[in-house]
Homo-oligomer: A and B are copies of this chain.
């Protein structure tokens, strides 16, 4: 089904912009098999178009296959996402459900484009829910969006354009199967997505997504019964409230066959929730879960619940503790179609945080890891910051709660990321930020995927197969997170960014504010003590981890200031003082950013001029901002301590 309202927008196809390829195997000349489902047909279409773009002259052979080498598409019935690529005679076979064929075809095309050996692949995704959360508002703005206006909303209404379908293609091509199109902070007309007011537009969007097996999710307001239903309460135990949700879901799921469920931010940063009525998070979530249950619906319930009106004078309350304090005691109380959405770290998407201990406390509850590829705190797509290595660290992390299947990846049942996409030509603002979108997709399918291989693959698909380009760009990507970390807030302390816009340095910007994110630095010491003598946050981990983090000796150095309050004179393992380590990191971080920018500039002759110029501009801004970070953090610490840099580099007094 084609969208009827087509608005022409010029945009890149990113890694789906297949390039002509020499030496394609003989069997690509023929495709045998006629898929019956909508998704299977889409798979066939993608295969034909992809091969054609690569220069093959492919014909579809209907009827009984002869002995000539061919690509055979075998479609099985059902919604299974499993896919198999294997040799078949002199050709190959891609088999799966219609949905599986889509993944298989994209995988096959990537193999060809990368010039890899013959693909043998039998795979199922690690999680049945692999999605992006869009923080898109009804007016077309995006909360924490850095890539232009929304793909899904304009002027107070949902929109479906030609680009919607290409977006679904991009998501499916890297393994994603879901998309929540509106902001978790539900405002304005977005409230009315539940009412049928935008039925026509939503059905169009849903159809575009469904063709590629991407499900539709909606963010809903917990107080919708008041705002829309004119009830006087949104109490989850109130019969009229339950009735309102049941009726609303009945209508909505009938209107939108591709709808899978709701994402809910409740009792968080001013949003309404069950706590307003003296009910638990479980009572709130279960009420919604019951309402969507008849339609096979699911509820994604955010665990981002904390006191966002903390008094900075209050040194006992520790925001890092909040999620475990709220949710760990409720394990086992949630319905089976509720997924607790847990941010990767205990605070909020900083460049360095420990893994959220809550992952280890949900033995009898579905959990979902929430990452953020929108670079809210990681350079806002003006700095290059490839996040996939960091996500792998989180997924690989051993919670030490059980003997087997103990990693985060093995504990969760679902995975999502806050999207970094918008209507910019290149979808992600910074051309290199598309690697995070692609990489998150691959990781959501297979959490053991190698971030460096992903980076290399993405580079070749995006910029062509020149080995120097591949080495240079993937090298930049692989270094980029450490570089960003070095010149920004040191050693896990976080939150030294400008309040509100979260860009650029402001070392005391959050210090006297209500957000619970303090470093309490003075002339001698910096940081919040989170060991047993401090806020006790470390005790939320299993005993081994708790002991490790509580010990300044054993705590990983990159997290030292997340867990401990330490004197500037504290000796790091290599003998440097804590302060000197921070100075060094900031000087080095800037130099390394400069080296990345120079490496990019050396590729000028080998890259598309548009891409080259856009990324060069971003690097210029990154260098300007990195110098600002370096100098502000160093000066701020110098003014506090009056201890100079041992190497006599410039710190402004």
Contacts and interface: CB of A to CB of B under 8 A. Distances in A.
Interface string A441-462: 0000000000000000000000
A640 B522 contact: yes
B631 A523 contact: no
A512 B640 contact: no
Given A507-B508, A508-B507, A522 B631 contact: no
A7 interface: no
Contacts of A628: 512
A524 B642 CA distance: 8
A312, A523, A636: which has the most chain B beta carbons within 10 Å? A523
A505 to B, nearest CB: 7
A505 B513 CA distance: 10
Contact of A641 (B523, B631, B653): B523
Contact of A313 (B508, B631, B642): B631
Contacts of A640: 522-523, 639-640
A191 interface: no
A642 B523 contact: yes
B639 A523 contact: yes
Contacts of A636: 508, 512
Contacts of A507: 508
Given A631-B313, A652-B313, A638 B522 contact: yes
Interface in A312-362: 312-313, 315
A521 interface: yes
Nearest to A504: B512
A163 B518 CA distance: 49
Contacts of A520: 639, 653
Interface in A608-629: 628
A642 B522 contact: yes
A506 interface: yes
A33 B641 CA distance: 78
A77 B594 CA distance: 77
Given A507-B508, A632-B512, A521 B639 contact: yes
Given A506-B508, A508-B508, A520-B639, 8 more contacts: A506-B512, A507-B508, A508-B636, A509-B509, A512-B628, A523-B523, A523-B639, A523-B641
26 contacts: A312-B652, A313-B631, A315-B653, A505-B512, A506-B508, A507-B508, A508-B508, A508-B636, A512-B628, A512-B632, A512-B636, A520-B639, A520-B653, A521-B639, A522-B638, A522-B639, A522-B640, A522-B642, A522-B653, A523-B523, A523-B639, A523-B640, A523-B641, A524-B642, A639-B640, A640-B640
